[in-house]
Structures are given as structure tokens and as C-alpha cells.
Amino acid sequence: MSNRAAEEVDVVDVVVIGLGPGGEYVAGRLAEAGLAVVGVEAELVGGECPYWGCVPSKMMIRAGNLLAEARRVPGMAGAARVEPDWTPVAAPIRDEATDDWDDRVAAERLTGKGGRLVRGRGRLAGPGRVSVAAQSAGEAAREFTARRGVVLATGSRPQIPPVPGLAGAPYWTNREAVSAKEAPASLLVLGGGSIGVELAQVYARFGTRVTVVEALERLVPAEEPEAAELLAGILRKEGMELRTGARAAEVRHDGGEFTLVLADGTRLTGERLLVATGRRPDLGELGLETVGLDPAARALPVDGRMRAAPGLWGVGDMTGHGAFTHVAIHEAEIAVRDVLGRGGPDADYRALPRVTFTDPEIGAVGLTEEQARERGLRVRTALSRVPSSSRGWIHKAGNEGLVKLVEDADRGVLVGACSMGPMGGEVLYGLAVAVQAEVPVETLLHMIYAYPTFHRGVQDALMALRQRA
Ligand SMILES: Cc1cc2nc3c(=O)[nH]c(=O)nc-3n(C[C@H](O)[C@H](O)[C@H](O)COP(=O)(O)OP(=O)(O)OC[C@H]3O[C@@H](n4cnc5c(N)ncnc54)[C@H](O)[C@@H]3O)c2cc1C
Ligand SMILES: NC(=O)c1ccc[n+]([C@@H]2O[C@H](COP(=O)([O-])OP(=O)(O)OC[C@H]3O[C@@H](n4cnc5c(N)ncnc54)[C@H](O)[C@@H]3O)[C@@H](O)[C@H]2O)c1
């Protein structure tokens, strides 16, 4: 190919940097719309979610929940002998979900839609310009000009706290935790957020001795305190040791064992140490300064149409609106519409749903009570407990949970809710509609709720809410 031909090929309509759920969606949709699209990916097409995040972790959780259900058989349905085995958990993650961490299928999904895949680490080289670093010595860096613009979708990476001794130690992040071939005998989990509690519970159910260390006063601190308290009780009952309000002062690793020294001098030991202390976008190496943006920012600032600058869009974890696959895809769809010059609503996070897939699941939408109060709303709340509902009583073992409602009393609408329990993430849906559509509490109160469902707990909580009016 002549140099001139090479130059022509490298002028495209759109370059997407990062092909996780957000970037893959944008690149695929724009290619299907007929644009000349280059997608640049440094690791695996599909990103964190299918290979090291949502999908494998939920496969592990499904297995752990099966064990827990089987252990609930005595007293309710006869006898059951449970022998946990990690092999049928690890094997389908490797062979079926991730193709042994090979993205050929995902890459072909993109090229099948007409997109072009370029492997390597991309960065901005000015407005509408992207360079992709050489993958190996002897290979030249590649340059692209994007006529319509560039979409950034580079996700996030684990945030490792500056605990002395941690940096050099062979700790696990989510990646090692979901690709482990065996369950360790013991596991220290630093961080009691969603990754920490989901994976802690799974491993504990497979016989691992688990200790969770959380710096703040409660687990899942972003969610309602009543849910956190209930979860802590359940995890303790399942045999986990929980240290909340605990600061890690030092990490040591020797003789195949980790020692985590807490600020109060307590020493905790474990065969493995999982660091799950949050994830952060890494904007430093993206060349943002070449388009007048701050590479030291915590997240990429975007407007309601995902625009970061003229001809530059950002979607997914890197925008800081919530590190969830459904947020990445919501934002990706808005960016696609904007690139194509189509209308439609701006991004709307009022009814942002989130589910922590512990057993019981913690579903949540919109504002917590604390957030609503911080916004100066006149807040009214109410709570119903799953075991007190008909379905909860019928369910018996494993029926822990609650529904908590947060009402803006001045407007008579829900601004937030928490649905914890068996299928708490599914019960959430109706509450998400109520928050999104601002359905009056009076209307919700006079609906018919199927008997005996878990979601009837919402009606119990609504009735409690009205008694407080
Ligand atoms: C253990 C775990 C469990 C999770 N469970 C859930 C869940 O149940 N539900 C949920 O909604 N979310 C869950 N998440 C979060 C979810 O995985 C992320 O929100 C989602 O993957 C974000 O998508 P993204 O496209 O923004 O970024 P990512 O998935 O992070 O993808 C970004 C991509 O960009 C690439 N990249 C980065 N820099 C460059 C560069 N300079 N050049 C080229 N490529 C680059 C990366 O290699 C990566 O492939 C979980 C996360 C983890 C870690
Ligand atoms: N079910 C889901 O949707 C799901 C599951 C897993 C992850 N995720 C996404 O991935 C993101 C990252 O997950 P995560 O659990 O790492 O982050 P997180 O922000 O949810 O939780 C991190 C926890 O670590 C604690 N922490 C921070 N520094 C600490 C320290 N030095 N010592 C002890 N504790 C410390 C924090 O107080 C917090 O509770 C989440 O925010 C979420 O958006 C979603």
C-alpha cells in the first residue's frame, strides 16, 4: 500500500478509544449506522464486565447461592448433603464465559458490524486526532484523524490504597479473584463495598475463612444503613469476620501468607488478600491536555449529551456517574445519538438503579435518606421487613430483607428506595419506575400488588409512609 493510500485509510469518521461495554456499544452502533469507525482496544474487546467483572462474579454468586439454598433444605424439605467444589465454578468462567480470556468472538462482533479494530493503547493527539502506541519494537505508532470526532470509553481500574507494604505484595484484585482455579483456605478482603461483599460471601460459602476490613463504620457505605446492618448480621452468621471502622496500617507477605496489621495493632492473616477499595478512571495517559482538558481530573467532565469538548465524547466509568455497565450503555446510547445528530433526551441519573448481588440482594435506586436530607428536601421515610410479609413468612430460611422508601414530602413522590431481600434486585424495578416517572405516592398506594409476592413489601412500606404523613 502506498503512503498516500495509508493516509486515506486512516482518516475515518469516528475513533472510539476503549472497547468495554460503553465503547463497544458506541463503535458497533455507529458502524451499523454506516460511519467509518475505528475502535482502539488495549486489552480485550468487551472490557472489564464480561472478563473480570459482572459476568464471572455473578456466575460465582449463582454457585454460592446454590450452596446456601441447599444448606436451607434441613427443616424445610428434608435432608441435603452439600460438598462445595470450586472446579465447576472456575471451569465455565474460563471455558464458556471468557473463552480463556480470549476476545475473538467480541472482536468479530465489532468487525461484523463494519467497525475496524485496532489493538493498542490510544491517546488524543489534538482535536479529532488519535495516536495508537506501537504494540512491539519495530512497529510504528499509528495516527488517525476522526472527521466527526473521538469517543473516549476507557473505563476504570482498581484504586490501590497507599498502605505500607501493599504495593510490592502479590495481592488479588477482582481479576485474580474471578479467575482463581481454587478457593483459598483463607481470604482477607480490604474494602467492604460491592466487590468486597459479593466476593467475600461467595468464597465463604465455598469454605474459605474470610475476613472483611472496611475503613468506614459500615459495609456497603453508599447504601442505606439499615441494609448494611442487616447484611453485616447475615455475613457474620455465615461465619465471616467483619472489621468495620478499621484502618489498615501495614501489609506483610511471607511464607505464602499475608498479614494485615490494623491501626489498633490487630493482626489478621490470610492465604490471599483481595484489594477491593474502589475503582477510578485513569485519565493521565489519554492526552487530554492536547484538547484543553485536565488530565489530572478525577473523572472526565461531560454534559448531558456526553460531550467533553467539541468533537469529543466520553462514556462509562470514566465519566464518574456510577461504575455500572447499565450506566456505560445508557451514556453510550446518548453519545451515539449525539454523534449521529439525532435528538432524544439528555442523560438522566435521578433513578439510577444499583444492585449489590449478595444474598440477600440489595437493590437501590435514586437517593438514600442521607443524600435526600443533604439536598435539603423535607424527607419522609418508611421501612417494611420481608419476614413480616406473607411471602417472607412463607419463604422462611433466607427471607431476610427490607424495603425502605424515601419520599420528598413536599412533592409527594419517591426520590429513592432500597429493596433488599430474595430477588431484591428484581423488586427494585417497580420502585425505579416510580422514582423515574415521579409517580405520586397516592397513586402507588392505591395500586393492586399481586399476592403473595416479595414486591408486596413495597405496599407495606407505602402504608407505613402514609401513617407518618
Ligand atoms: C468484580 C466486578 C463486578 C462488577 N459487577 C457489576 C454488576 O453486577 N453490574 C454492573 O452494572 N456493573 C458491574 N461492574 C462494573 C462494570 O464492570 C463496569 O461499570 C463496566 O465494565 C464499565 O464499562 P466501561 O465501558 O466504562 O469500561 P471498562 O469495562 O473498564 O472498559 C474499558 C476498556 O478500555 C480499554 N482501555 C483503557 N485505556 C485504553 C487506551 N488508552 N487505549 C485503548 N483501550 C483502552 C480497557 O482495556 C478496557 O477494555 C463490576 C465490576 C467489577 C470489577
Ligand atoms: N453489583 C454491582 O453492580 C457491582 C459489583 C461490583 C462492583 N461494581 C462497581 O465497581 C465499583 C468498584 O467496586 P468496589 O467494591 O471496589 O468499590 P466501592 O467504592 O463500592 O467500595 C470500596 C470500599 O472500600 C472502602 N475502602 C477504601 N479504602 C479503604 C482502605 N484503605 N481500607 C479499608 N477499606 C477501604 C470504602 O470505604 C468502600 O466501602 C463499584 O463502585 C461499583 O460501581 C458494581
Give the model's pLDDT for residue 139.
84
Please check whether residue 60 lies inside any domain of the structure.
Answer: no
Please check whether residue 111 lies inside any domain of the structure.
Answer: yes
The CA–CA distances, whole Å, from 439 to 111, 149, 256, 443 equal 43, 39, 56, 7
Site to probe by mutation for ligand 1, drawn from 325, 327, 334, 336 as the one with most ligand atoms within 8 Å of Cβ, is: 325
Q: Which ligand is nearest to the CA of 246?
A: 2
pLDDT above 50: residue 7: no
Whether the bond between 92 and the residue before it is cis, its omega within 30 degrees of 0, is no
Give the model's pLDDT for residue 286.
98
Q: How many domains does the chain have?
A: 3
Contacts of 423 (CB under 8 A, 6+ apart): 361, 454
pLDDT above 90: residue 412: yes
Whether 236 and 269 share a structural domain: yes
Single residue among 314, 339, 364 that ends a domain in this structure: 339
Whether 196 and 148 share a structural domain: no
Please check whether residue 76 lies inside any domain of the structure.
Answer: no
| pLDDT (tens digit per residue) in 315-347 | 999 999 999 999 999 999 999 999 999 999 999
Instruction: Report the run of H or E that residue 196 belongs to, with start and end.
Output: helix 194-205
Whether 18 and 142 share a structural domain: yes
pLDDT above 50: residue 2: no
Give the model's pLDDT for residue 95.
98
Whether 261 and 317 share a structural domain: no
Please check whether residue 24 lies inside any domain of the structure.
Answer: yes
Report the nearest atom of ligand 2 relative to the CA of 163: 31
Calculate what percentage of the chain has a pLDDT beyond 70: 98
pLDDT above 80: residue 443: yes
Ligand 1 interacting residues, C-beta cut-off 6 A: 17-23, 40-44, 47-49, 53-54, 57-58, 121-123, 153-156, 174, 195, 316-317, 323-326, 328, 357
Q: Which ligand is nearest to the CA of 50?
A: 1
Please check whether residue 167 lies inside any domain of the structure.
Answer: no
Question: What residues make up the domain containing 232?
Answer: 174-277
Whether 125 and 40 share a structural domain: yes
Whether 257 and 303 share a structural domain: no
Q: What is the mean pLDDT of residues 292-296?
A: 98
CA of 317 to the centre of ligand 1 (A): 7
pLDDT above 90: residue 419: yes
pLDDT above 90: residue 6: no
What 3-state class would DSSP assign to 386?
A: helix
Q: What is the mean pLDDT of residues 85-112?
A: 98
Whether 209 and 254 share a structural domain: yes
Q: What is the mean pLDDT of residues 409-433?
A: 98
Please check whether residue 409 lies inside any domain of the structure.
Answer: yes
CA of 277 to the centre of ligand 2 (A): 5
Please check whether residue 75 lies inside any domain of the structure.
Answer: no
Q: What is the mean pLDDT of residues 213-232?
A: 98
Whether 320 and 251 share a structural domain: no
Q: Per this entry, what is the length of the chain?
A: 469
Whether 190 and 210 share a structural domain: yes
- The Cα–Cα gap between 142 and 131 comes to 5
Output the nine-digit C-alpha cell for 251: 501489609
Q: Is the CB of 166 under 6 A from ligand 2?
A: no
Query: What is the rounded average pLDDT for all residues in the chain?
Result: 96
Write the CATH number for 332: 3.50.50.60
pLDDT above 70: residue 278: yes
Please check whether residue 383 lies inside any domain of the structure.
Answer: yes
Ligand 1 atom 38: residue of nearest CA:
154
Whether 370 and 325 share a structural domain: no
pLDDT above 80: residue 231: yes
Q: What pLDDT band is residue 134 in, cutting at 50, 70 and 90?
A: confident
Q: What is the mean pLDDT of residues 8-14?
A: 81
CA of 308 to the centre of ligand 1 (A): 19
